[in-house]
């Protein structure tokens, strides 16, 4: 007998906050096991930042059969960390959406694919970045068709590999 799975995406609500904290804890453990222990150190992203994301209306959850299994942040407009890019350049300088904090509980595959599809219904261009040690995410980003553009610096000065997807 074949089981049908229902996947949907919706804005996060304050009631989702405990589950988001669980998902990010699971994601941090996964990243540490796969060679990326430094990207989300010290409990990042914490409750305060996640609450701000929800309040801003830019936090989304992926729901599988009624259960929140993944999350991402999507915002349109200029991202201050993307103003300066080193060792490369953006594919264009037009309007774009930015994906941040893509995380999964591990209960579903293809989370970045779902987030990108969702973003491309709203933006022609999508930017994303990840830590140099995050080989899993780099592979997923490239698999989705993003192009590597260069290096950006976060507010804390740490570097990230930056990518852009242009809808044709």
Render 71-133 in DSSP notation, one character per residue.
Answer: EEEEEES--GGGSS-BSS--S--S--EEEEEEEE-SSSS-HHHHHHHHHHTT-SEEEEEE-TT
How many domains are contained in the chain? 1
At 95-108, the pLDDT tens digits run 999 999 999 999 99
Token output for 145: 């068709």
User: pLDDT at position 2, please?
Assistant: 59
Strand 147-153's sheet: what is its strand order?
Answer: 7-11, 59-64, 67-76, 97-104, 125-130, 159-166, 147-153
Question: What CATH code is carried by the domain that includes residue 135?
Answer: 3.40.630.30
Nearest of 74, 118, 121 to residue 97 by alpha carbon: 74
Cα separation, 77 vs 80, in Å, equals 10
User: pLDDT at position 156, please?
Assistant: 85
Stretch 50-75: mean pLDDT, rounded?
A: 97
DSSP reduced 3-state for 62: strand
CA distance to 16, 18, 40, 134, 154, per residue, from 21 (Å): 9, 5, 13, 20, 22
Stretch 106-119: mean pLDDT, rounded?
A: 96
Is residue 71 domain-resident? Answer: yes
Is residue 2 domain-resident? Answer: no
Is residue 1 domain-resident? Answer: no
The residues with which 145 forms a beta bridge, in sequence order, are: none
User: pLDDT at position 133, please?
Assistant: 94
Q: Indicate whether 3 pLDDT > 70.
A: no
Stretch 135-154: mean pLDDT, rounded?
A: 97
User: pLDDT at position 36, please?
Assistant: 87
Residue ranges making up the domain that contains 141? 7-166
Is residue 117 domain-resident? Answer: yes
């Amino acid at each position: 007998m074949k089981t049908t799975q229902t996947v949907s995406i919706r804005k996060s609500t304050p009631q989702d906050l405990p589950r988001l904290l669980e998902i990010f804890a699971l994601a941090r453990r996964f990243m540490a096991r796969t060679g990326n222990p430094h990207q989300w150190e010290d409990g990042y992203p914490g409750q305060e930042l996640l609450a701000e994301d929800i309040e801003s209306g830019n936090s989304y959850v992926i729901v599988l059969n009624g259960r929140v299994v993944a999350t991402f942040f999507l915002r349109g407009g200029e991202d201050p960390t993307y103003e300066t890019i080193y060792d490369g350049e953006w594919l264009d300088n037009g309007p774009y959406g930015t994906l941040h904090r893509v995380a999964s509980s591990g209960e579903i595959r293809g989370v970045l694919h779902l987030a990108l599809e969702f973003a491309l219904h709203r933006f022609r261009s999508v930017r994303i970045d990840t830590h140099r040690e995050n080989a899993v995410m780099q592979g997923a980003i490239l698999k989705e068709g993003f192009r590597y553009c260069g290096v950006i610096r976060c507010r804390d000065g740490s570097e990230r590999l930056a990518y852009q997807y242009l809808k044709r």
